[in-house]
Amino acid sequence: MKHWIATCIFFASLTVTAQTTYLHCGKLFDSKTGEIKTQQTIIVDGERIKEVKPGYLTPGQGEKLIDLKAKTVYPGFIDLHVHIESESNPQKYLDRYRLNEADIAYDAQVFAKRTLMGGFTTVRDLGGSGVNIALRNAIKAGKVKGPRIFTAGKILSSTGGHGDPTNGNKASIQGDPGPKEGVVNSVDDARKAVRQRYKNGADWIKITATGGVLSVAKSGENPQFTNEEIRVIAQTAKDYGMQVAAHAHGDEGMYRAVANGVKTIEHGTLISQRTMQLMVQKNAYLVPTISAGKFVAEKAKIKGYYPAVIVPKAKKIGAQIQATFANAYKAGVPIAFGTDAGVSPHGDNGKEFGYMTEVGMPAVEAIQSATIVNAKVLEQENNLGQLAPGFYADIVASDQNALENIHTLEQISFVMKNGVVEKE
């Protein structure tokens, strides 16, 4: 018995406390004020920031020092629109018949790590097979390297709509998918589908309020949910502590979504002044996904890259997204950073900053959209998006000052997430 007690005491004495880390930052982006501060020290204790102090403070004995004096440091970036399970390629429309869930899961780990290495420490996954929920849990448990994930699980669509998983199938294997599979055709279906997502462990609800570009269906813009269905989805989501994002290219479906309680509009390509005014009134956010628009418009020029029914949609819709963003920004529509990575390559998320600034958004606001603004949308404004005491130690750095050269954010040289250095 004495030996057992002595052994317990010995192992208890080996318990390792979280190491304190000092980061000497040559330049530091304050996402709250939009200012660049010089010669700052961030003190990290465990997974959170303990202090941010002017000057280069000297660590104590046993404390770690990271020298970022030649870098510009930012809060970890947040992308509000990714599809972490897959990535565009000419065989993608065969993959749903060829790949098992295990195959998808292994691919998703690669894409998750690539996203993290690109400086995006948090993402919102807006639709996949359900592997995205398991991946979120695995990353949180430390089993897999990747960003913090807030996920919608499987998206909600109408029969034949953008997101119906059986679109393009031959009749004998189309079946009749319902709320469990994400297909909604009534108010009762809508309520059940949201509850199913809650049961599955989703954090958000994603609906396809209009047709889409990459679905094997004719229209990329027609409305695909009724006002009543959207209203019930939004109310049920609220009851279960969730918010709703809506894929939307066409204006009528977009207007219905905003009018009935949707928080974010994804893409928003054909938005009207009427809908923009409603978004300002309702404080609904546009997530532009310019990266995806540019990518699909370019790939549509390559014969055979997409099925024939998709090509005219990609050429029409994809080419307009950047101009839509410019108009919405000028109209005062709240903007949240999102790329639709998975349509465009994972890890290239930082290119979106350049696309935003090309058409009039100042660099400071583009960076704020991916930090403090997106943290607010996720209702994580006390945890994410700032380099301040009490916030998660999600810290990234670039070689140059992004307010002077926004493209430096395409090559992130340092990544820390939850106080752990992932890239140095």
Beta pairing class for 48-54 and 264-267 = unpaired
Who wins on pLDDT, 160 or 301? 301
Give residue-wise pLDDT tens across range 172-227: 777 778 899 999 999 999 999 999 999 999 999 999 999 888 776 777 789 999 99
Residue 283, classed as helix, strand or coil, is coil
List, in sequence order, every beta strand (DSSP E) within 127-192. Answer: 148-151
Give residue-wise pLDDT tens across range 105-155: 999 999 999 999 999 999 999 999 999 999 999 999 999 999 999 999 999
Q: Which two tokens stand for residue 226?
A: 């009724």
d(CA 98, CA 235): 37
**Does residue 82 contact residue 350 with C-beta atoms inside 8 Å?**
no
Check whether domain 17-75+386-423 has CATH 2.30.40.10, yes or no: yes
H or E stretch covering 190 = helix 187-200
Residue 69 banded pLDDT, cuts 50, 70, 90: very high
What pLDDT is attached to residue 214? 79
What predicted TM-score, i.e. pTM, was given to this entire model? 0.93
Instruction: Read off the pLDDT of each residue in 400-405 and give the average, rounded to a whole number.
Output: 98
- According to CATH, the topology of domain 77-377 is TIM Barrel (3.20.20)
Residue 18 banded pLDDT, cuts 50, 70, 90: low
Q: Which residue, among 117, 129, 105, 115, has the nearest Cα to 79 in the 3D structure?
A: 115
Share of the chain above pLDDT 90, in %: 80
What pLDDT is attached to residue 316? 85
Beta pairing class for 264-267 and 285-287 = parallel
In the chain, domain spans: 17-75+386-423, 77-377
Q: What end-to-end distance do the CA atoms of the chain give, in Å?
A: 48
**Predicted confidence (pLDDT) at residue 324 exceeds the cutoff of 90:** yes
Instruction: Read off the pLDDT of each residue in 91-103 and give the average, rounded to a whole number.
Output: 84
Q: Which residues contact 8 (CB under 8 A, 6 or more apart)?
A: none
Tokens 């005219």 found at: 312
Instruction: Give Cα separations from 332 to 289, 325, 402 (angstroms).
Output: 18, 11, 23
* Cα 93–Cα 99–Cα 101 angle in degrees, nearest 5: 125
Residue 379, classed as helix, strand or coil, is coil
List, in sequence order, every beta strand (DSSP E) within 256-312. Answer: 264-267, 285-287
Give 70-100 as a DSSP string: EEEEEEPEEEEEE-TT----TTHHHHHHH--
- Residue 219 is which amino acid? S
Tokens 């994930």 found at: 149
What pLDDT is attached to residue 161? 82
d(CA 377, CA 119): 19
**Predicted confidence (pLDDT) at residue 280 exceeds the cutoff of 70:** yes
How many residues in total does the chain contain? Answer: 424
Residue 13 banded pLDDT, cuts 50, 70, 90: very low
Who wins on pLDDT, 414 or 314? 414
Asked if the domains 17-75+386-423 and 77-377 are classified in one and the same CATH topology, the answer is no
**Predicted confidence (pLDDT) at residue 406 exceeds the cutoff of 90:** yes
**Predicted confidence (pLDDT) at residue 375 exceeds the cutoff of 90:** yes
* Cα 166–Cα 167–Cα 170 angle in degrees, nearest 5: 75
